């Protein structure tokens, strides 16, 4: 019984999504202590607070997302095993988990500083209220809103050490925002039938595959300009990032000529994960 509930909790918190949203927080923090030459020992308590606080806040937001979307989750293959659909946890229990986790997580972030707490609340509010409640079922640009909530995560980590209103963390914000568009479009194409059945206004469902491919390429092109925001960017980093952007753009452009769009979307999805991991690694190495 305990094992079953642990498995259900992982589904409730979408464990891979939770990890993927915390990772940029960690990267932002590591980059900041390296950039400002701060001893980890002196900020170890703040690191613990931002780790536990951000994880709880993200988990709370994901639980509330499940609570709000229980009616459409039962219509989709990819979500039909969530505890809000199977009934393992009552909707009231999920709502309480979402509220309590969100409140505790936000409170822990406030203990660090106001800027960290503000980024955390912005991400939570954009995801739970603007994305889930207000736009996902009504507008194709819901993806942009969801991308903002994910893009503030590196700012949270950086702001633990110093203000994130600086070129490096802002460049990470832009990379995360622009990257999430092709990444999410790839998922929407692969799960087209699910989204169509549930009536969610994802771009491929409303505008079709060709428009989605065009938008994907547009955001990939925009990524080329992000490194230019970093005043002190090293030439090796600029060259390698340009090569990586070019390689990913080639995958995006392949969508115009591949007959099997779903296969292309699968390649795009996998390559998006590789792209982001390489980008984070490059930042850690060169900045």
pLDDT of residue 6: 64
Q: Which residues contact 96 (CB under 8 A, 6 or more apart)?
A: none
Q: What is the mean pLDDT of residues 31-47?
A: 97
Q: What is the mean pLDDT of residues 125-136?
A: 96
Using pLDDT thresholds of 50, 70 and 90, give the confidence band for residue 5. low
Among candidate residues 60, 25, 61, the one with its CA nearest the CA of residue 46: 25
pLDDT of residue 15: 79
pLDDT at 3 over 70: no
Mean pLDDT of the chain: 94
Q: What is the mean pLDDT of residues 253-266?
A: 96
Domains 1-161 and 166-287 share a fold: no
Using pLDDT thresholds of 50, 70 and 90, give the confidence band for residue 157. very high
Per-residue pLDDT tens digits for 179-236: 999 999 999 999 999 999 988 999 999 999 999 999 999 999 999 999 998 887 889 9
pLDDT at 175 over 70: yes
Architecture of domain 166-287: Up-down Bundle (1.20)
**Domain residue spans in the chain?**
1-161, 166-287
Using pLDDT thresholds of 50, 70 and 90, give the confidence band for residue 80. confident
Supply the DSSP symbol for 106.
H
Architecture of domain 1-161: Orthogonal Bundle (1.10)
* SS3 of 140-175: CCHHHHHHHHHHCHHHHHHHCCCCCCCHHHHHHHHH
Using pLDDT thresholds of 50, 70 and 90, give the confidence band for residue 96. very high
Residue found under tokens 């990524």:
223
Residue 110 CA to residue 105 CA, distance in Å, equals: 9
Residue found under tokens 């409170």:
107
The answer to whether 204 and 286 have CB atoms below 8 angstroms apart is no
């Amino acid at each position: 019984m305990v094992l079953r509930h642990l498995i259900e909790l992982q589904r409730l918190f979408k464990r891979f999504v939770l990890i993927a949203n915390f990772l940029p927080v960690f990267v932002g923090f590591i980059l900041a202590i390296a950039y400002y030459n701060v001893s980890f020992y002196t900020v170890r308590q703040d690191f613990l607070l931002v780790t536990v606080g951000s994880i709880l806040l993200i988990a709370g937001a994901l639980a509330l997302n499940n609570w709000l979307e229980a009616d459409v989750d039962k219509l989709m293959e990819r979500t039909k095993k969530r505890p809000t659909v199977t009934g393992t946890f009552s909707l009231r229990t999920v709502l309480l988990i979402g509220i309590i986790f969100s409140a505790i997580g936000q409170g822990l972030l406030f203990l660090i500083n106001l800027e960290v707490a503000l980024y955390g609340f912005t991400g939570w509010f954009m995801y739970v209220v603007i994305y889930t409640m207000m736009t996902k079922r009504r507008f194709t640009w819901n993806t942009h809103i969801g991308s903002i909530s994910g893009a503030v995560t590196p700012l949270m980590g950086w702001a633990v050490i110093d203000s994130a209103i600086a070129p490096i963390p802002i460049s990470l914000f832009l990379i995360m925002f622009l990257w999430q568009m092709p990444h999410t479009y790839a998922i929407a194409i692969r799960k087209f039938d699910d989204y169509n059945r549930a009536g969610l206004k994802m771009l491929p469902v409303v505008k079709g595959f060709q428009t989605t491919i065009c938008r994907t390429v547009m955001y990939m092109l925009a990524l080329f300009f992000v490194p230019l925001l970093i005043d002190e960017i090293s030439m090796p980093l600029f060259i390698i990032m340009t090569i990586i952007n070019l390689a990913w753009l080639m995958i995006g452009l392949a969508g115009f000529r591949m007959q099997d769009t779903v296969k292309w979307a699968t390649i795009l999805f996998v390559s998006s994960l590789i792209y982001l991991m390489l980008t984070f690694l490059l930042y850690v190495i060169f900045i």
